[in-house]
Amino acid sequence: MLTFTNRFLNALPGDPNPSNHSRQVHGAFWSRVTPARVAAPSLLLHSPEVAAMLGLSEAQMRSPEMLAALSGNGVLPGMDTYATAYAGHQFGNWAGQLGDGRAIMLGEVLAPSAEHFEWQLKGAGPTPFSRRADGRAVLRSSIREFLCSEAMHHLGVPTTRALSLVLTGEPVERDMFYDGHPELEPGAIVCRVAPSFIRFGHFELFASRGEHALLRQLIDFTVTHYFPGIAAAHADPRERLLAWYAEVCARTARLMARWMGVGFVHGVMNTDNLSILGLTIDYGPYGWVDDFDPGWTPNTTDAQGKRYAFGRQPGVAQWNLARLGDALATLDAVPPEALTDALAQFERTYAAEANGLFAEKFGLRAAVGHGDDASEARAIIDAAFALLVQHEIDMTIFFRSLASATTVADLRDAFYRDTEWHEARAAWAAWFERYAALGARLHATPDARAERAARMNAVNPKYVLRNYLAQQVIDSAHAGDYAPIAELLDVMRRPYEEQPGRERFAHKRPDWARTKAGCSMLSCSS
Ligand code: AMP
Ligand code: MG
C-alpha cells in the first residue's frame, strides 16, 4: 500500500481551468492534467533500488495496475496528476513560461524511510505547457535518461532517479537533426523519482510576472519541506531566505565538482534544468567526456557557442544562480548586496570541493595542509591538467590507471593515438617521476600505499556510461533486443569495482564512434 501525500498539489494554489490546451497559466503553480492513453504499454525495465526505496515489491512492480500507472493509462489509489508551471533562461536568453511540457506528476509518496518522493512521467502526453510540441518522448532518449540517472546515483552524484522504462507501443515523429528528415521512432515513458522537481525556473516565473505572493509562498514551501535545518535556524524571513540561497549556491557548487570529477557534461544547463535541491536533472543531450577536453560539448544545438561545454559548467552554474538571485531580489526587503555575498559562496565551495576531489583522485590528499608537500601536490595536479589537454587522453582510463601505475608506460592505454603517445611520452615521464616521488614520500609503507590505492579507486570510476555504450544498447533496442540495456545498467551499478569479464565496458571510445550520431553528437530532439 502506497501512501500518497501530494504536498505540492495540496499546499499550493492551482489553475482553475481544467482544459488541456497550450496556454499561459497565471497565478498558479500547477494545472491538473490527465496523461494521454497509450496503445500497448509494456514494462521494459525497472530499477530495483528505486522500487525498494519506495517500498515497492517485485510483485507490485509487475502488476497490471502498476503498468497502467507507469504508462499513463491509469492511476494508483491516492495519485493525483498535474503539470507544474516554470520559466527559464535558455542559452543565456530569457524564455518566459516553459513548464512541464511533457512531464506529468503522478503525486508524492511517503516512503518507508519517512522521506517523500515525487513520481513524474516523462513523455506521457501534452499539458498546458507543451506549446506546439507533442508531450512525447522517444525510446532512445528514454533509455539514455533511465541509464544515466541510475549510473549517476551509483557513482555517488546527486540526481533524480528512474523507476521504470515503459514502451508505449506507439510511434513518435522526430526530426533528429532538425534537417527536414522526420522519422517515426518508438515512443517510451520514463517514471522519474525525486524528493522534488522544483527548478530555478519555478522561482523565475513568479518573479518575472511580479507575482510576489506566489514567489514567497514557493520559497516558504521549499525551505520548510526541503531545507528544514535552515527553517529551524532562521525565524526572520529575510535571514532565512539569504541562508537558503547560500545553501542552494553551495549545493550547486558541490554538484558541479562532482560532474567535473567524473567527466559528465549536462549539455543543456538552462535555468529550467537546474534543480533547487542540487540534483542532476533532465538528461537530454548529455555526454561523458572520452578524451579530457574542457571545450567539448555533446549538444549539436550548442556546437557554435559551446556555452555548455565540459569546462564551462561551473561558470554557467554560477550564472544560473545569479539569475535565481535576480528573481529573489524582486522581493521587498531582500538587499541585492546580501544576495551577491551569498553567491560568493558558490566560488568558495566549488574551489574547496573540486580541489579536494581532484587531490583525492590523484591520491595526493595526504599532502593537503602540509606546507611544501601541499604546494608540490598543487603544482603536480596543475601540470597534469596542462598535459591532459594537449593530446587526446581518456579521462576515465587516465585516472583509473593512477592507483596501480608504477611507470609512465602504465598511462599509455589512456592515449587515443599512438603518435601522440610517442610525442608526449617524455613530458609525461618527467611528470610521472615527480608524481611518484611525492606519492612515495607521502605513503611510505606498503600498507599506506594499499590504502591510498583503495581510496583512489573509490573516486576514480572504472565504468562510466560512455556515449558509445549507451548508443550500442539503443541500436540493439531498435533492432528488438532489449537485453543489453539491462546488462549495461547492471555494469553501472558498481562503477568503482573491477568487474571481471566486463572489461569491454571500460574500453575507450572506438574509432567508429568518434563522429557517429548519438556517440559524440546529440541534438535536443528527444
Ligand atoms: P528541455 O530542453 O528538454 O529541458 O525542454 C525545455 C522545455 O520544452 C520544457 O518546458 C519542456 O517541457 C518542453 N519540451 C521539450 N520537449 C517537449 C515535447 N516533446 N513536448 C512538449 N514539451 C516539450
Ligand atoms: Mg528541461
207-239 pLDDT, tens per residue?
999 999 999 999 999 999 999 999 999 999 999
Whether the pTM exceeds 0.95: the reply is yes
How far, in Å, are 134, 174, 214, 230 from residue 186 at the CA level?
Answer: 14, 10, 39, 45
Residue nearest to atom 22 of ligand 1 (CA): 101
Q: Rounded to an integer, what is the distance from CA 41 to the centroid of its chain?
A: 27
- pLDDT of the residue at 177: 83
Is the pLDDT assigned to residue 428 strictly greater than 90? yes
Mean pLDDT of 61-79: 98
- pLDDT of the residue at 525: 82
Tell me, yes or no, whether 28 lies in a domain.
yes
Pick the catalytic residue from 272, 290, 293, 302.
Answer: 272
Is the pLDDT assigned to residue 431 strictly greater than 90? yes
| Pocket lining: 290 vs ligand 1, CB cutoff 6 Å | no
Mean pLDDT of 25-30: 98
| Pocket lining: 135 vs ligand 1, CB cutoff 6 Å | yes
Tell me, yes or no, whether 432 lies in a domain.
yes
Is the pLDDT assigned to residue 521 strictly greater than 90? no
- Structural domain ending residue among the three candidates 167, 200, 233: 200
pLDDT-based confidence at residue 280 (cuts at 50, 70, 90): very high
- Structural domain ending residue among the three candidates 412, 439, 457: 457
Tell me, yes or no, whether 128 lies in a domain.
yes
- What is the 175 CA–ligand 2 centroid distance (Å)? 18
Is the pLDDT assigned to residue 465 strictly greater than 90? yes
pLDDT-based confidence at residue 332 (cuts at 50, 70, 90): confident
Name the H helices within 43-185: 48-54, 58-61, 64-71, 139-155
Using DSSP, state whether 118 is helix, strand or coil: strand
Which residue, chain included where needed, has cell 517485485? 58
Number of domains in the chain: 2
Residues 6+ apart with CB under 8 A from 220: none
- The best mutation among 129, 307, 522 to test binding of ligand 1, ranked by most ligand atoms within 8 Å of the C-beta, falls on 129
Tell me, yes or no, whether 176 lies in a domain.
yes
Residue pair 211/27 in contact (Cβ under 8 Å)? The answer is yes
- pLDDT of the residue at 121: 98
- What is the 101 CA–ligand 1 centroid distance (Å)? 5
Beta bridge partners of 199: 275
- Residue (of 394, 389, 387, 378) closest to 425 by Cα position: 387
What value does the mean pLDDT of the chain take? 97
- pLDDT of the residue at 269: 98
Side-chain-facing half-sphere of 502: CA atoms under 13 Å:
19
Tell me, yes or no, whether 488 lies in a domain.
no
**Which atom of ligand 1 approaches the CA of 137 most closely?**
19
- pLDDT of the residue at 34: 98
Beta strand 287-288 with 183-194 is: unpaired
- pLDDT of the residue at 176: 86
| Pocket lining: 273 vs ligand 1, CB cutoff 6 Å | yes
- Structural domain ending residue among the three candidates 166, 182, 200: 200
Mean pLDDT of 339-359: 96
Report the alpha-carbon angle 33-35-41, nearest 5: 175
| Pocket lining: 133 vs ligand 1, CB cutoff 6 Å | yes
Ligand nearest to the CA of 267: 1
Tell me, yes or no, whether 294 lies in a domain.
no
Mean pLDDT of 38-53: 98
- pLDDT of the residue at 523: 86
- What is the 273 CA–ligand 2 centroid distance (Å)? 5
- pLDDT of the residue at 311: 98
Tell me, yes or no, whether 382 lies in a domain.
yes
- pLDDT of the residue at 265: 98
- pLDDT of the residue at 504: 98
- pLDDT of the residue at 333: 81
Q: Rounded to an integer, what is the distance from CA 526 to the centroid of its chain?
A: 16
Q: Which domain holds residue 438?
A: 367-402+404-457
Is the pLDDT assigned to residue 526 strictly greater than 90? no
Is residue 372 flagged as an active site residue? no
Tell me, yes or no, whether 227 lies in a domain.
no
